[in-house]
Amino acid sequence: MACPDGVPHGVPLNFSLAGDSIFFHCAPEGRKIAILSANTRVSFCVVGSTQVLPAKFGTRYESAMATGTVEELSGEEKRQGLILLVRKYSPDYVKEGLEYIDKLIDKTKVFRIRLESITGKARR
């Protein structure tokens, strides 16, 4: 993300990937919401498994970077975005997760990043 004055701003997120979109949720107000309201163009970076290789002065890693446009979801799309997160992070508690979603859906915002580009890199 970039603040209105051009200063970059990054924040770690729990996310779920489905099709050509990344879904995430956050508090209903704050700096991230203000930045996204001013500029919907974003980049997204994730680092997967890593292992330092001391004898090789290197690291085994996997990573991906993406760019896209973010949009806030509402209604059933918002609920589906939250369900994707429950299925990823709490797969053994989907029933309880659905109840949790229905109880607290108005206390969170859900966003979708429509992916425009993805690149990846790895050292195995």
Alpha helices by DSSP H, 19-115: 31-38, 75-89, 94-104
Residue 37 backbone zone (phi > 0: left; psi -120 to 50: alpha; other: beta): alpha
Checking 9-16 for CB contacts under 8 A at 24+ apart, the result is 9/35, 10/45, 14/85, 14/89, 15/44, 15/46, 15/85, 16/81, 16/84, 16/85, 16/87, 16/88
Segments of the chain assigned E as strands: 16-18, 21-26, 41-53, 58-73, 109-123
pLDDT of residue 124 exceeding 90, the answer is no
Q: What is the pLDDT of residue 4?
A: 87
Q: Domain 16-120 class?
A: mainly beta
Per-residue pLDDT tens digits for 65-101: 999 999 999 999 999 999 999 999 999 999 999 999 9
Digit-coded pLDDT (tens) for 1-56? 998 888 999 999 999 999 999 999 999 999 999 999 999 999 999 999 999 999 99
**Which of 65, 82, 72, 67 lies closest to 18 in space, CA to CA?**
82
